[in-house]
Amino acid sequence: MKVMRKRAWLALLAASALIAGQMAPARAQDWPTKPIRLIIPYAPGSGADSAARLIAAQLGKVLGQTVFVDSRPGGNTTIAGVAVARAPADG
């Protein structure tokens, strides 16, 4: 019986910690603070490039920041993947 009470108390404590964490106000930084680079692994003028440019335009309006499309074709999309992996971790 004591083991059940201990588990119940631990469960209650864990649940209250989760609830308290969700009720705390978020303290995020202002984001984005500089232009956003959207890297796509396909050639300029392709269907994916056209769709990315439409999305970038709408995203820029919503975020209030410049979003530009950077096409990195070649290497079976490896070149774009390397560019993303080497990009600075700034958000």
pLDDT at 44: 94
CATH number at residue 62: 3.40.190.150
Give alpha helix (H) positions in 1-91: 2-23, 47-63, 78-85
pLDDT tens column, 30-55: 777 889 999 999 999 999 999 999 99
Q: How far apart are CA 31 and CA 57, in angstroms?
A: 17
The verdict on residue 59 lying in a domain is yes
Q: How far apart are CA 78 and CA 71, in angstroms?
A: 12
Q: How far apart are CA 30 and CA 90, in angstroms?
A: 12
pLDDT at 27: 61
The verdict on residue 9 lying in a domain is yes
Q: Which residue in 90, 77, 82 sits closest to 40, CA to CA?
A: 77
Instruction: Using 50 as the pLDDT threshold, list the residues of the chain that sit under it.
Output: none
The verdict on residue 90 lying in a domain is no
The verdict on residue 91 lying in a domain is no
User: Domain range holding 22?
Assistant: 2-85
